[in-house]
């Protein structure tokens, strides 16, 4: 019992979502190799063996999932609808939401099944993936440790890629707001990204999670203010729906799909939320925490995407806040507030990859230069994300690329692969329907990855080349 207590983490119902990074859902401290344990007559119930000091209520768990999904991604939905059209966008959002919800369901259900077999109270995302190999086909069991590390590293890279998006978000928002008030000193998005480096480096030196929690509270309050302002301008004097494209060219659909996946996927916080519930049986099922949360998310994303595209049309930008009027103080303040929200959120999201890296550093035999190493790693990682963000400042395309490569892999492909491997020598149901269903989802994930990455990279290269030509022309004009 004392051992279980040492593995639990205090998480209040309304604390920061990123605070969940410190609990067993993100850490890999549990051993999954327990196949030699003696068998009891009574089936092992993992829920009865969880010892969480401050478990989340059902409502608190719903709020955690909502906070993880309702972030900056929802502001990119109008741009996603631009790439799909209104009718295709509504249908696509519902279908993508259903698939994302189902893959989360697969991951949690597989984790719970493995907990019973492994006689463990809970498993993290990475542990679930490793355990699926351990309790799957015998020839794959030796891969268990490598798969667990791979997923851990993938989560780190995914969060770092999201931070690159945040840098572009900050730079774009500052430029849109400040260019109006400083017409004689207009800077590029790259310049604003570079100016954000020092503040980001400073705030990311905070290592104790409890000092970051107030940032989450402030960010949550401010982002709802931005949503309210955005909705006001979104619904003000709406043009006719008939003025917009119903079904866009198929060539831009991959950008729609990758943007929606980027916006909706909260795969990194799913297992922590389920592991910290007072009644984890209520996570799945109908209505359940997962279904309730995702219904709200899909509805809000559909509303933002639909009416945002109706209001701003093909001129809509990577974040709909960038389309707000430049001659109104309230609209301009929303852009600055959003930049500040992303700045605070950056520090919170940065905690996740650093927590994984810190665990890796803990294996060192000596603690010499620990402080210097921490400062150096944090500074280098922040600098890297700022450099990448400044190099590719097209917010819409960067979001599409990150969604296509990282979230389609972690959020769609890995859950179905994990379930398939775990059930390979067990039961796929009547007519092997689980296997065929997982194959279809895996194909969708691969299509989203390949097509989304291709369209995004092609757009980024085209955008990069266009800016290069413009700079050359400007230099020649100056010389002349």
Do 201 and 379 meet the contact criterion of CB atoms below 8 Å apart? yes
**pLDDT at residue 476 is higher than 70:** no
Residue 53 has what DSSP assignment? S
**pLDDT at residue 474 is higher than 50:** no
Confidence of residue 381 (pLDDT cuts 50, 70, 90): very high
- Lookup: tokens for 227: 């949503």
**pLDDT at residue 385 is higher than 90:** yes
Q: Which of 90-94, 112-116, 126-130, 177-181 has the lowest mean pLDDT?
A: 177-181
Q: According to the model, what pLDDT value does residue 312 have? A: 93
Q: According to the model, what pLDDT value does residue 184 have? A: 76
Q: According to the model, what pLDDT value does residue 480 have? A: 52
Confidence of residue 27 (pLDDT cuts 50, 70, 90): very low
Q: According to the model, what pLDDT value does residue 9 have? A: 40
The mean pLDDT value of the chain amounts to 83
Q: According to the model, what pLDDT value does residue 369 have? A: 79
Residue with the two structure tokens 């109270």: 121
How many other CB atoms sit within 10 Å of the CB of residue 390?
Answer: 21
Q: Which of 32-41, 218-227, 258-267, 279-288 has the lowest mean pLDDT?
A: 32-41
Cα 392 from Cα 409, distance rounded (Å): 22
Q: According to the model, what pLDDT value does residue 468 have? A: 54
Q: Between the CA of residue 283 and those of 70, 96, 153, 419, what are the distances in Å?
A: 19, 20, 27, 18
Cα 263 from Cα 68, distance rounded (Å): 10
Do 456 and 397 meet the contact criterion of CB atoms below 8 Å apart? yes
Residue predicted with more confidence, 130 or 44? 130
- Lookup: tokens for 187: 């800077």
């Amino acid at each position: 019992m004392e051992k279980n207590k040492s593995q639990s983490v205090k998480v209040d119902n309304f604390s920061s979502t990123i605070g969940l990074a410190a609990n067993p859902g993100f850490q890999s401290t549990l051993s999954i190799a327990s196949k030699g344990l003696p068998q009891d007559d009574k089936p092992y119930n993992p829920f009865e063996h969880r010892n969480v000091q401050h478990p989340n209520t059902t409502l608190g768990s719903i709020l955690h999932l909502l906070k993880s999904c309702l972030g900056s991604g929802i502001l990119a939905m109008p741009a996603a609808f631009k790439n799909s059209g209104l009718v295709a966008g509504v249908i696509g959002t519902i279908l993508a939401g259903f698939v994302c919800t189902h893959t989360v369901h697969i991951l949690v259900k597989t984790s719970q099944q493995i907990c019973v077999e492994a006689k463990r109270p809970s498993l993290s995302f990475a542990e679930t993936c490793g355990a699926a190999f351990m309790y799957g086909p015998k020839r794959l069991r030796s891969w268990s440790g490598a798969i667990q590390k791979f997923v851990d590293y993938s989560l780190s890279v995914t969060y770092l890629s999201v931070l690159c998006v945040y840098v572009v978000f900050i730079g774009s928002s500052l430029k849109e707001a400040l260019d109006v008030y400083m017409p004689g000193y207009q800077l590029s998005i790259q310049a604003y990204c570079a100016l954000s480096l020092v503040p980001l480096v400073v705030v990311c030196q905070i290592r104790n999670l409890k000092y970051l929690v107030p940032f989450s509270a402030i960010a949550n309050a401010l982002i709802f203010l931005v949503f309210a302002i955005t909705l006001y301008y979104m619904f003000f004097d709406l043009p006719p729906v008939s003025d917009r494209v119903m079904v866009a060219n198929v060539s831009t659909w991959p950008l729609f799909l990758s943007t929606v996946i980027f916006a909706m996927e909260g795969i990194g916080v799913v297992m922590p939320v389920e592991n910290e519930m007072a009644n984890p049986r209520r996570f799945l099922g109908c209505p359940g925490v997962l279904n309730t949360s995702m219904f709200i998310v899909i509805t809000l994303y559909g509303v933002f995407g639909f009416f945002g595209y109706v209001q701003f049309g093909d001129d809509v930008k990577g974040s709909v806040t960038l389309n707000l009027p430049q001659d109104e103080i309230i609209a301009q303040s929303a852009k600055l507030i959003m930049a500040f929200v992303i700045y605070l959120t950056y520090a919170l999201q940065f905690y996740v990859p650093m927590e994984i890296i810190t665990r890796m550093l803990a294996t060192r035999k000596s603690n010499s230069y620990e402080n210097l190493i921490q400062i150096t790693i944090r500074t280098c990682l922040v600098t890297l994300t700022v450099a990448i963000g400044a190099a590719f400042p097209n917010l819409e395309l960067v979001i599409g690329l990150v969604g296509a490569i990282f979230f389609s892999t972690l959020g769609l492909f890995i859950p179905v692969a994990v379930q398939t491997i775990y059930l390979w020598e067990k039961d796929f149901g009547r007519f092997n329907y689980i296997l065929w269903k997982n194959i279809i989802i895996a194909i969708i994930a691969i299509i989203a990855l390949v097509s989304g990455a291709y369209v995004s990279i092609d757009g980024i290269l085209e955008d990069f080349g266009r800016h290069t030509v413009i700079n050359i022309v400007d230099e020649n004009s100056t010389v002349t």
